[in-house]
Amino acid sequence: MNKEKILIALTVLVDVIGIGIVIPVLPFYVQSFGAKPLMITLLFAVFSFFAFISAPFLGSLSDKIGRRPVLIISILSTAIGWIIFAAANQLWILFLGRIIDGMAAGNLPIAQSYLTDISKNDKERTENLGLIGAMFGIGFIIGPMIGGLLSSVSHSFPFWIVGALAFVNSILVFFFLPETNKNIDKSKKLSLNPMMPIIKAVKNKKLLPSYIIWFFFGLAAVGMQSVFSLFLEHAFGYGAFTAGIFMTMTGVIIAINQGVALKHFWLKKFKESNLTLWLMPIFGIGYLLMGIELLPVFLFGLLIITFSQSVLRVTLNSQIAGSASQGERGEVMGILAAVMSLSTIIGPIIAGYVFEIQETLPFIISGIYAMIAFGIIFCIKRKMQHKVLPEDINVAPQDIL
């Protein structure tokens, strides 16, 4: 693996370690401020709201001035946001930390754009995006483990650690990461309208179905994540340490599935479009199983979700990235991030609200989201197959989805 891929992988890894720490530890940290479940999920949502505003702008900015400077700004914002979050002594300071992190939340879409820049063909693009997925897996191994162990010192201590890691990462990127955008367009106009990415997504008839599928996929994933630790505590009496162990288990599966199996098995045996079609309903069934308050069934559902989500995240991203031209790739990945951010604004709020009504409802609703996404994919695939002549049936994946 070359130097550029290693540094991008490290950037994503630090980001995901932060996410991995947040899921098991944040609810217990915020509860120490006297917050209720809805307020806890609002902390997930407020980050996503500001990411929704900033990520598309930063994606377009990386098309205009380059990936490297935007990535450095974004990583520094992450570091500052986590340190403020860790130092909080009042609830509003927690929100301030998440807002600062969200205001420059371009790490992931810029990293994705960076890896697509250096990809020579479709297969390499999918493999490179699979590298990001593998970092998600490793981050979900390390993050919850760090969160679970260091939370025994204090619930704020893990967030100090991830803030320090982000600062170190920004220094490494500044000194060692080269620019990869060979099609910098300094004349490109940038819009500060936060709704412009969604407007562009709606107007883009070619990609609109993919954006809608991505939106429902995001609703399912983040809705469950925001109440995961709360559910473990309410249903089974487990705390932050045990929640961290469960998240570590999912990280192992993600790392193996995306880091090894994706390249050497899934992409060799199946078309991307078929993987997306048939793994989506399996993804939904996993959530329905997690809503059953029996620990073996819950863990089996979690296993199914982790397995299917780790492949779906890569194939959905790859198909959309493959349909974008080099000059608009940063913008398209930014729009993709905005759509995901929109789902991570809405998903946790709904999950927190229904959790207070009945603790299994968030999982049932996540299962419904996934089934809606499957229905859209199925209808699009059937429609495209009717349009394609038999001898032309081997169309590109992005033309099916």
At 37-52, the pLDDT tens digits run: 888 888 878 888 888 8
d(CA 125, CA 115): 7
Report whether pLDDT(363) > 80: yes
Lowest average pLDDT, out of 88-92, 299-303, 381-385, goes to 381-385
Which residue did the predictor score with more confidence, 151 or 93? 93
Q: Report pLDDT for 394.
A: 43
Residue 392 confidence (pLDDT): 44
Which of 6 and 296 is assigned the larger pLDDT? Answer: 296
Q: Is pLDDT of 296 > 50?
A: yes
Copy the structure tokens of residue 49: 């709201």
Listed by start position, the domains of the chain span 3-178+195-400
**pTM of this prediction?**
0.74
Mean pLDDT of all residues in 74-103: 92
In the predicted structure, residue 148 carries a pLDDT above the cut 80: no
Whether pLDDT at 122 is above 80: no
Over the Cα atoms of the chain, what is R_g?
Answer: 20
Average pLDDT over residues 193-221: 87
Q: What is the pLDDT of residue 117?
A: 84
Percent of the chain whose predicted confidence (pLDDT) is above 70? 94
pLDDT of 281 reads 96
What's the pLDDT tens digit per position in 236-263?
Answer: 999 878 888 888 888 888 888 877 888 8
Q: What is the pLDDT of residue 326?
A: 64
pLDDT at 339 over 60: yes
pLDDT tier at 1, thresholds 50, 70, 90: low
User: Per CATH, which fold does 3-178+195-400 belong to?
Assistant: Growth Hormone; Chain: A; (1.20.1250)
Using CA atoms, how far residue 269 sits from 262, 264, 313, 318, in Å, is: 10, 9, 18, 17
Q: For the segment 188-206, what is each residue's pLDDT rounded down to a tens digit?
A: 777 777 677 778 888 888 8
> Is the pLDDT reported for residue 393 higher than 50?
no
Q: Is the pLDDT of residue 382 over 80?
A: yes
